Amino acid sequence: MYEIIARTAWSLRRAERILIITGAGLSADSGLPTYRGLGGLYNGCTPEGLPIEDVLSGPMLGRDPALCWKYLAELGRACLKAEPNAGHQAIAELQRLKPQCWVLTQNIDGFHRAAGSPPERLIEIHGGIAPLFCQSCGAESDDLEGHLQRSLPPLCTACGGVLRPPVVLFEEMLPEAAVERLHGEMRKGFDAVLSVGTTASFPYIVEPVLQTRAAGGFTAEINPTATELSPYVDVHLRGRALDILSQLLSHIAGD
């Protein structure tokens, strides 16, 4: 493993434009639940007999907001009681060392911002868990914790409409601005792409890796298990994101 980490660190140190793609596996080390994969809470169905993709969907929020919010609240409580881990901090430090290092995250917990990743080089492709906003009048509420202590779904104090987080639910479109930002950076190309803690099942996760490798760049994956992406990367570092990212940063910052 030492040789693989050293090779990855050497490649990242040489690269100028870097993209780090992060998924639930990174925040799992902070105690947050993952949807699926190793340790996933929702590999089967919910107690209601429905796939989590149906429960946490835009149509379900409209049809049965209380049921959708039952699981949104679970994620919200987990985010509120957890903090960024050493993996988030290592990524933020790498961005400090590498002014053209970008982060593309599927996570909605806001931990990259909290760890110090610059917002101007952070693409939150699935949005975030806060602040809540009213679907009827658009009023915002920063009191996620307070709403989670009351009956669900949370309601707008201004008009009584149902509040929701600015997160992309299943069956909803990705935020246009985030997609355009990603495509703009992909057009410039990356020297290296590092996938961290994601099952890589979406095209916008796979495409930057394939494009970079086809152009001769370096690609690597950090994940305890093999994923759909594993056959297409130069290096697969098996283990916890928190541990491996810390070791990579030690090699890069120490040389």
Phi, psi of 127 (to 5 degrees): 75, -150
In sequence order, what are the beta bridge partners of 20? Answer: 103, 194
Dihedral of the alpha carbons of 133, 136, 139, 144, in degrees to the nearest 10: -30
* The three-state (H, E, C) secondary structure of 155-207, written as one string: ECCCCCCEEECCECCECCCCCHHHHHHHHHHHHHCCCEEEEECCCCCCHHHHH
Residue 47's pLDDT is 87
Measured distance CA(107)–CA(121) in Å, rounded:
15
- Please tell me the pTM assigned to this model: 0.91
* Residue of 88, 112, 126, 236 marked active site: 126
Could you confirm whether 126 is annotated as catalytic? yes
- Can you say whether the dihedral through the CA atoms of 33, 39, 43, 47 is positive or negative? negative
Beta carbons within 10 angstroms of residue 38's beta carbon: 13
∠ CA 172-177-178, nearest 5°, is: 75
Residue 39's pLDDT is 42
pLDDT tens digits for the chain (255 residues)? 889 999 999 999 999 999 999 999 999 889 886 655 434 445 567 889 998 889 999 999 999 999 999 999 988 998 999 999 999 999 999 999 999 999 999 999 999 999 999 999 999 999 999 999 999 999 999 999 999 999 999 999 999 999 999 999 999 999 999 999 999 999 999 999 999 999 877 899 999 999 999 999 999 999 999 998 999 999 999 999 999 999 999 999 875
In sequence order, what are the beta bridge partners of 236? Answer: 221
Amino acid at 185: E
Residue 1's pLDDT is 82
Lookup result for tokens 């070791």: 247
Sort 213 into a burial class: Cβ within 10 Å, 0-12 / 13-18 / 19+: middle
Tokens of 30: 């902070």
Measured distance CA(3)–CA(185) in Å, rounded:
30
* Contact present, 52 and 75 (Cβ < 8 Å): no
Measured distance CA(251)–CA(10) in Å, rounded:
8
* Contact present, 175 and 168 (Cβ < 8 Å): yes
Measured distance CA(64)–CA(156) in Å, rounded:
17
Measured distance CA(233)–CA(16) in Å, rounded:
19
Residue 255's pLDDT is 57
Sketch out the chain's domains with CATH numbers.
2-31+83-130+173-254 (3.40.50.1220)
* Contact present, 161 and 155 (Cβ < 8 Å): yes
Residue 43's pLDDT is 54
Each residue's pLDDT tens digit, 10-48: 999 999 999 999 999 999 889 886 655 434 445 567 889
